[in-house]
Amino acid sequence: MTTTQTDTQPHFEIQRIFTKDLSFESPNTPGTFVEKWNPEVSLNLETKSNRMNEHLHEVILSITATVTTDKKTAFLIEVQQAGVFSIKNFPDEQLHHMLGSFCPNILFPYAREVVSDMVVRGGFPQLLLAPVNFDALYAEHMKQQQGESSSGSKSVN
């Protein structure tokens, strides 16, 4: 039996995109609604991936947005937007980049929509998250990891 060219060609396919977890809290309502609206936004992004089998990977993009006004929390929203991706025949370095940058980039618009929708449903003005450069974040993360591994390999006597 001969191997066909398609058996060795790189293959990427989105299997499913879904909201894995969602939390919205507005601890100071309704008082927040009558105060002057001067929001400060704190945003935290995190990605992780889990290998489901040889070719299937779950990628989870976690976004936490905390909005305060007058040093009081107006609302806090946490979203885990996930996807299942079929990824075959990519070199390890390229696979790692796809899981750490390419897939989160696909998930971000979905997470952004969930955040915007939940904030409005919570009675607050729409919160539109700015685009994120996942390639730059991935490169920064890899640089930090290399710095940690090189500093970790030093021997101390």
Quote the strand ranges of 4-151, DSSP E.
Answer: 11-25, 40-51, 56-69, 72-88
Q: Note the pLDDT of residue 145.
A: 80
3 state DSSP class of 31: helix
Q: Note the pLDDT of residue 157.
A: 34
pLDDT per residue as tens, the chain (157 positions): 445 556 789 999 999 999 999 999 999 999 999 999 999 999 999 999 999 999 999 999 999 999 999 899 999 999 999 999 999 999 988 999 999 999 999 999 999 999 999 999 999 999 999 999 998 888 888 888 887 765 544 433 3
Strands 11-25 and 56-69: unpaired
In angstroms, the first-to-last Cα distance of the chain is 58
Q: For residues 74 and 45, what is the distance between their CA atoms, to the nearest angstrom?
A: 20
Q: Note the pLDDT of residue 97.
A: 92
Return the residue matching tokens 């990628």: 59
Angle between the 103-121 and 134-152 helix axes, to the nearest 10 degrees? 120
